[in-house]
Amino acid sequence: MELVAAGTVLLDVREQNEWDLGHAPDARLLPLSELQARLSDVPVGQQVLVICHSGMRSLRATAFLRAEGVDAVNVVGGMVAWAQVGGALTPNSDTV
């Protein structure tokens, strides 16, 4: 099942220790705590789906990214919802 459309970036804003427990394939890690300082790491010209554990941090990150002109969308329910709809989890993907 493909949950992320081609050309769309899935940005995981959880912390490294949460990421290490499992994350969506092809997701990019950019913790919310580092987002403002690393804004230049966010892809430009692509839609960015923002995910965290349950959707609260990703909601904050999405608001920040939109204010900076990024086409960002919050993944409501976060990784909890991702797993409930059958989204794959994998360890050891790349960080941003």
Give me the active site residues, please.
52
Provide the sign of the torsion angle of the four alpha carbons 39, 43, 49, 51, taken in this order: negative
Q: What is the DSSP string of 29-82?
A: E--HHHHTTTGGGSPSSS-EEEE-SSSHHHHHHHHHHHHTT--EEE-TTHHHHH
Residue 59 structure tokens: 């909601």
What are the residues facing 51 on neighbouring strands?
A: 12
